Structures are given as C-alpha cells and as structure tokens.
Amino acid sequence: MSFVTVNPDSDFPIQNLPYGVFSTADNPQPRIGVAIGDQILDLQAVKHFFDGPVLKNVQNVFDQPTLNAFMGLGRAAWSEARQTLQKILSKSESMLRDNAELRARALVPQSLATMHLPANIGDYTDFYSSKNHAYNVGCMFRDPKTALNPNWTQLPVGYHGRSSSVVVSGTPVRRPNGQLKPDETNPPIHGTCRLFDFELEMGFFTGPATQLGDPITMDRAEDHIFGMVLLNDWSARDIQKWEYVPLGPFLAKNMGTSISPWVVTMDALQPFLTDNIPQDPVPLPYLQDKGNYNFDIKLDVSIMADGLTKPSTITRSNFKHMYWTMKQQLVHHTATGCNINPGDLMGSGTISGPTPDTYGSMLELCWKGTKTVELGNGITRKFLQDGDEVIFHGYCEGNGHRVGFGTCSGKVLPAHPLS
C-alpha cells in the first residue's frame, strides 16, 4: 500500500504507476509525472532517488519535457524505475512520506494539472487487428463468405497515419470536410462529413530505437514495447468509403487521433496476461510466438450529448478480443527493416467483441445506419453529431484494486463552413 490515499475504485493505485507529462499554472514547463491516486508524483523533484545501477548516471531523463529519452533506455531501466517508485511511495518507507517539504513539492493534485502528450510521436501506425471488427465491416460491403480479405489471417494489416494530428485526451476534434460521393449515379462533391465516427482502440509506445535495415524478431519484441494508452481513431466514414480504394484510409482518418495521457507500463499489465486468440491458419514462422501476449483490459465507450444529464454508455468491450498481438504487429511492421524510435505509436485497430453490445464503432453499432443507438431521454444516434463528447475508459480488475488508464475523451466541433 501507499502512504498516498488511493480510493478503491481509483485507476491509479501503487500497483499501476503510469507515466505522463503534465504542467501546472505555477510551473508551466511540461514535466514527467507518475499518477498515484488523485495525485501526480513529479519525477523531477524526486529524481535523486533513482540511484540504482541502471539509472544513477541518467537521472536527467526525468528532467525532460517528454518520455522519449526514458522510453529509449529499455526494459532494465523501466523495471528499476518501477521498483524505485513502489519503494518511495510505499506506506512503510519514510524517505518521502516523512519529508514534508519534499512531499509538498513532489505531489501535485491531478485537478491542478494540465496533461500533455506523453511523448514526441515521430511516427504513428494503425493496425486492423480485431477479427470481429474486420468481419463485421466486410459483411456490410461484401458477401459474408468473403468478408475477410485473403491476407487478413496471414498478416497484421495496418496503415501509416499522421503523427501530427495525434492529440491528448480533452482536445476537441473538428468534423472534417472532404470529397464525398453520396450518390453513386452522380460525380463526387466537396462537402461536410455526415457519417463521423469513433473507433475504440488501444495503442502502444515503442522503446529503444532500431537501426534502419534491422528487423525486430519475436524473441526481442517485448524489449521494444514500453506501455499502452487508450486511443480513439476518429473516422469520417463517407470520406473513407469514396477514397479507400486502392490504397486504404487517407483523409478519412487524418483529422485527429486522441490518446489518454497516462501510459500504463507492460510491467503493470503483466498480472492481467491472458491467452492469445487461436490463429487459423498458423502464421508464418516469423510471426509465431510460443508465449501469450494478450491482456484482459475492460473497455467502455460513453457519449455525453445535449439533453443528457450524464454520459450514456453505449458499448463495453475488451482488449483480449484482438486477433493479432502487439508483438506480432511490431515484428511484422519491422520485417522489412523499417526502423522504430522511442515514442513511436502503434494503434491496435478497432476492438470489437463477438456480440453487438461489444462492438467498437458507431458503424457497427448502427450497422451502417440501419439501426439507432439509444442514449436515453429519447435521444438516439446513428453517427456522431456536433457537440457530442466521446469518452473511453479502460481498466484491469485486480484483487481489490484496479490498474486503469483513466479516460480518453474528445468533443466534436462543427465543420468549417464551405465557401
């Protein structure tokens, strides 16, 4: 237990200790912190405690305005830092608990903090790794017998997204304008997206850099995965429908990607490891992994809309429904020798379960506009409307505690008027 008070339903007990970047009104410089209960431990203020063999000569990584340098140190540094944090925050340790002056500087209420992106994201890739989601979307536009393209069960499908439009939770996202073809019998038009959607995803940040030309093999993949966040891959379905052939998503996805501010480390998630989904056919040897790398992370999506007194939960899913694992995604991504850097972001793809109440997008929940989604108070949706706030939440259920991610939220702003 920690000497810092942590409510039983908090996402941030001492078993979690996620990393983020924050600032305050009295100190506007972004700096690295760790969430504990409703507080943030400012690592700049306590960096001298990181005096183990791996970190003692690189304590300056905690002076940085992003996590990139720390991510680049690798698993030995991450594990040592976690051990140090659990020690100094422990109820039985006096080094911080009994130092009132240091405690006043080092512990900051989350309510007084502004959160920032946790890393300088050099590259962002989004995968398409939920078989349920891929099958559902395939059924909407093709014969169910050919819902999955032939390559889908052979490799983790993905595309390269825009790191420049990745934003931290709480940042509004504007409804896009783009080229549409609402009437198949007429030419395309330049108009406002009418079918704006969210996609319930998670993402992982990469660790140590690799050299161009050197792939990451399965036995080393875990060494390059730092931690996870919630991720909303905002999607313009009508723009996507017209543009996606032949090269896949482009403008339908680049108006914004929201992530939660707290990065939950893989060490914190280790107790929630669960079985991988059986893969048929068996992947090629370079994608085969003898161990499990799937995680039992409960996820839900709520919408706060005009006319509601509280957010309405519209779906509950779980990360364990993913067909391809993060290790397989990373190994495939680098199979050609593509290099990665600390702080690269990899999205999971929409996380849909096997039943309609576990689908991870409005496209599926309204089944391409043929059904309505009930929000309560007589309010319904098929796709998102201006002013809607979409809120993701995720957590793992431990023995008497949660290891959670907080929330990932964003409000839909109206499109710019077209001249």
Task: Point out the annotated binding site for Ca(2+).
Answer: 126, 199, 201
Q: Report the amino acid identity of residue 274.
A: T
Q: How many other C-beta atoms lie within 10 A of the C-beta of residue 100?
A: 8
Helices (H) and strands (E) in the chain, counts: 10, 26
- Is residue 133 annotated as part of the catalytic site, yes or no? yes
Cα 67 versus chain centre, distance: 16
Q: Which residue has the tokens 């063999």?
A: 53
Binding-site positions for Mg(2+) read 233, 253, 257
Q: Which residue has the tokens 């490891």?
A: 273
DSSP per-residue letters across 366-407? TTTTTS-EEEETTEEESS--TT-EEEEEEEEE-SS-EEEEEE
Phi first, then psi: give them for residue 265, nearest 5 degrees.
-75, 160
Q: At 205, list the tokens.
A: 């940040």
Phi first, then psi: give them for residue 304, nearest 5 degrees.
-105, 115
Q: How many other C-beta atoms lie within 10 A of the C-beta of residue 314?
A: 19
Cα 93 versus chain centre, distance: 33
Binding-site positions read 126, 128, 142, 199, 201, 233, 240, 244, 253, 257, 350
Which of 133, 332, 333, 401 does the annotation list as catalytic? 133
Binding-site positions for substrate read 128, 142, 240, 244, 350
Q: Report the amino acid identity of residue 167.
A: V
Cα 1 versus chain centre, distance: 27
Residues belonging to the active site: 133
